[in-house]
Amino acid sequence: MAADRDQVLETIQSYVDLVGKGTADDILALYAEGATVEDPVGTEVRTTRESIREFYAAIEPLEQESRLVSARVAGNEAAFQFELITRVGEQTYTLAPIDVMTFDDAAKITTMRAFWSNADMDISG
């Protein structure tokens, strides 16, 4: 059994939309029980629901826009690039990470790993 490709693409699109405009709980609803988050890759892996919630709660109040750039699905795994624009006062922070996710058969996220570093952050304003 594999997750349906269209369902996986739908989860990815929802994830990108919600990182921009959703609540931490909205995002958490896309994750399967027992899911893990490593963002950015190389930092400690979040393995509990609370620690994942905390991660997204930190960006929830920010003024952000997001858009999916490109997604590639291979069975129950996918990689995609998205752009996240954050406005803080006069400053605009633009980051376009490449995320790698695995999914369960219902296309819920089981693992998320985000590839980016500070060198990829554009600051203007």
- The contact set with its own copies (CB under 8 A) reads 5, 40-42, 69-70, 72-81, 96-98, 100, 114-117, 119-120
Is the CB of residue 114 less than 8 Å from the CB of residue 42?
A: no
Q: Which is nearer to its own copies, 24 or 98 (CB)?
A: 98
User: Minimum distance between the CB of residue 90 and its own copies, rounded to whole angstroms?
Assistant: 27
Q: Shortest Cβ distance from residue 51 to its own copies (Å)?
A: 19
For its own copies, give the closer residue by CB, 12 or 28. 12
Strand partners, 83: 67
114: nearest Cα among 53, 41, 59, 56: 41
Q: Which is nearer to its own copies, 28 or 113 (CB)?
A: 113
Residue the block writes with tokens 């892996």: 45
**Considering the complex, what minimum distance in angstroms separates the CB of residue 41 from its own copies?**
4
- The strand pair at 109-115 and 31-38 is best described as parallel
Token pair belonging to 33: 């029980």
Considering 15, 31, 56, 99, which one is annotated as catalytic?
A: 15
Q: Say whether 39 is catalytic.
A: yes
Residue 80 tokens read as 């995609």
Which of 31, 39, 56, 99 is an active site residue? 39
Phi, psi of 46 (to 5 degrees): -85, 125
Active site residue 15: yes
Active site residues: 15, 39
